[in-house]
Each structure stands twice: as C-alpha cells, then as structure tokens.
Amino acid sequence: AQSVTQLGSHVSVSEGALVLLRCNYSSSVPPYLFWYVQYPNQGLQLLLKYTSAATLVKGINGFEAEFKKSETSFHLTKPSAHMSDAAEYFCAVSDPGGGADGLTFGKGTHLIIQP
C-alpha cells in the first residue's frame, strides 16, 4: 500500500523567507508524486508533479520540488515566500494500479506567512 507523510500540520514563515514543506512517501513501485495547493474554500490545484523524467521539478508560482529516492522524499520549496502563498498544501502519490485508482494524499500542511 502507498502512504504519504507530511511533517508538520502547520508551518509558519516570514514573508521573503524560504518555504520548505516536507513530504516522505512509501511505495511498492516506482512512485509518481504530486504537490497540490488548496486556497480557502476552493478545490485543489496542481503545483507540480514528478514522473521520473527529472529529479528536480519546477512548478507554478515559483515552487519546486526535488525527488530523492534514497531518502524517499519529495520536499516542496520556494526561495522567497509571498503573502499569497498562504494555503493548504498536499503531497500525493499515484497508486500502483494506475492513475485510474486515484491518489493517496498526505494529511496536508497549512502554510502561514507572517508579514
């Protein structure tokens, strides 16, 4: 079975500081990994995805994530936080049966930006 662990249900950073949101996964097969963002009272929007083409993945809004197989991690970073980055972030792994079987999500990390 797949699983995703996001360390820290809440992360607070100052505006302009580095954002680091942690995600570790377990998967019985080579994983495909996703980061989604959810703004208040909205659905989820894809930030970026890892599909084995490159270990460093760039996404929207200045976010990027690095896949590290040895650490089973896929941490999300952004060099300089902006107030508009305040949201809930979810890491997800695709189930081995194929994308048709859905995604397994982590519990989410709420990112707080301090002015």
Is 95 a binding residue for another protein by CB under 8 A? The answer is yes
Number of residues that bind another protein (CB under 8 A): 28
Whose Cβ is closer to another protein: residue 35's or residue 73's?
Answer: 35
* CA 80/CA 42 separation, integer angstroms: 24
- Site for another protein (CB under 8 A): which residue of 55, 71, 107, 114? 107
CA distance 19 to 79: 6
Contacts of 24 (CB under 8 A, 6+ apart): 4, 5, 7, 71, 72, 73, 74
Which residues contribute to the site for another protein (CB under 8 A)? 9, 32, 34, 36, 41-46, 49, 51, 90, 92, 94-96, 98-108
